[in-house]
Amino acid sequence: AAPVRNPLSALCKVRFDPSLRARADEALFGEKNAGMGVEDAVEEERSREVALALLEAALEPPDEDEEGGPEEVRKEDQMSLSVGIVGAPNAGKSSLTNTAVGSKVAAVSRKTNTTTHEILGVLTKGKTQICFFDTPGLMLGHHGFPHRDVTVRVESAWNSVNLYDLLIVMFDVNRHLKMPDSRVIKLIKRLGAEVNPNQKRILCMNKVDLVDDKKDLLKVAKEFEDLPGFERYFMVSGLKGKGVKDLVQYLMDQAVRRPWDEEPATMTEEVMKTISLEVVREKMLDHIHQEIPYVIEHRLMDWKELKDGSLRVEQHFIAPKQSQRQILVGKNGSKIGRIGIEANEELRSIFKRDVHLMLQVRVAKKRSS
């Protein structure tokens, strides 16, 4: 039989979209949710066995990185899978992608909605390649949006849900235990209730490492085990790597015979450029608060490999107002200096070479009327 064509082939490109950022929806998790009761003793025991199995997988040590690149595989033997990761803001989608793929490709920060564009991560093992699509946070609730582009991004995320071979629906289990939100439950039920014969869906309970009493995870497993539409349930820590090995193996097993979308090579220059932007942006999000990071444009201005093998990277931040520029720069350049130092250290670690990172902050030119 002829190999199946992947409709996502045209999308499997790393992109950077410098559009306006969205304000963090910090009030997302504020409403309490009533838990589900146990129907009978038999059901309780069955649920406990399932939950304990999940818990055991979740608490295993983080996976060690494997050395060595993939061997050459004939096109007719190649297996492929496209995976979409969706969930509420700050559910940990980017952290999971970074851990599974093994390189930093999406901004990981404590602020919500930090992934402003669809970023591809590619994992190639043996004959199998998995393409991860990390979607923007699906903004829930009724708090309103500070920028016009947010609605467009959220609609795009919903429209992209059915494009993938497999969908991972993720939520922050630690927040659910401390501050359950009925809107998150509705999101999970909406995605779990939709039937798509061409797509498998799994529910991923993330950030188990932050849960103090691990027995509480059993309660969550019981609460969500009967939701329709989900084939499997996983408990993981995307940041620490716990449980990710089992999740990745499950994804590998779901791959279909289809040519790979990407060459299993080391980092290309285009991917490295995107990583440099994301790392710097992550550091900015950690040091600059409120709405400021989401209204500042961020550009890569220059990228050059020097004779000694080191990289010269120049990036600019463009603020709408002088006051916003001053906040980003800080007193005597303290803020932008700290951002630059931390980002430079991380880029050196990722690229395994010296990096000369130069950051500039300027005010946008006023458009003539």
Give pLDDT tens digits along the chain (369 positions): 455 444 444 444 333 333 333 333 333 333 334 344 444 444 455 555 555 555 554 455 544 444 444 568 899 999 999 998 887 766 777 778 778 887 656 555 555 555 554 655 788 888 998 988 876 655 444 443 444 455 665 666 677 778 889 999 989 999 899 988 777 788 888 888 766 788 999 999 999 999 999 889 988 888 877 777 899 999 999 878 899 999 999 999 999 999 988 776 556 787 788 888 888 988 888 888 766 777 889 999 999 999 999 999 999 999 999 999 999 999 999 999 999 999 999 898 888 899 999 999 999 987 765
Beta bridge partners of 200: 166
Alpha carbon separation from 343 to 96, 102, 119, 278 (Å, rounded): 20, 18, 19, 10
Over the range 192-219, which residues count as b (16 or more CB within 10 Å of their CB) and which as e? beeeeeebbbbbbbbbbbbbeeeebbbe
Identify the pLDDT of residue 29.
35
Domain ranges of the chain: 9-61+69-257, 269-363
Residue 305 identity: E
Amino acid at 27: A
Task: Indicate the residue type of 100.
Answer: A
Query: In 3-state terms, what secondary structure has residue 301?
Result: strand
CA-closest candidate to residue 45, choices 235, 222, 215: 222
Residue with tokens 């999970």: 188
CA-nearest of 29, 85, 77 to 94 is 85
| Closest among 324, 319, 273, 243 to 60, alpha carbons compared | 243
Q: Given this model, what pLDDT does residue 200 score? A: 93
Which among 14, 18, 39 is positioned nearest to 223, based on CA atoms?
Answer: 39
Looking at domain 269-363, which CATH architecture does it have?
Answer: 2-Layer Sandwich (3.30)
Q: What is the pLDDT of residue 275?
A: 82
Structure confidence at residue 21 (pLDDT): 34
Fold that domain 9-61+69-257 belongs to in CATH: Rossmann fold (3.40.50)
What whole-number distance in Å separates Cα of residue 63 and Cα of residue 76?
30
CA atoms within 13 A on the CB side of 168: 32
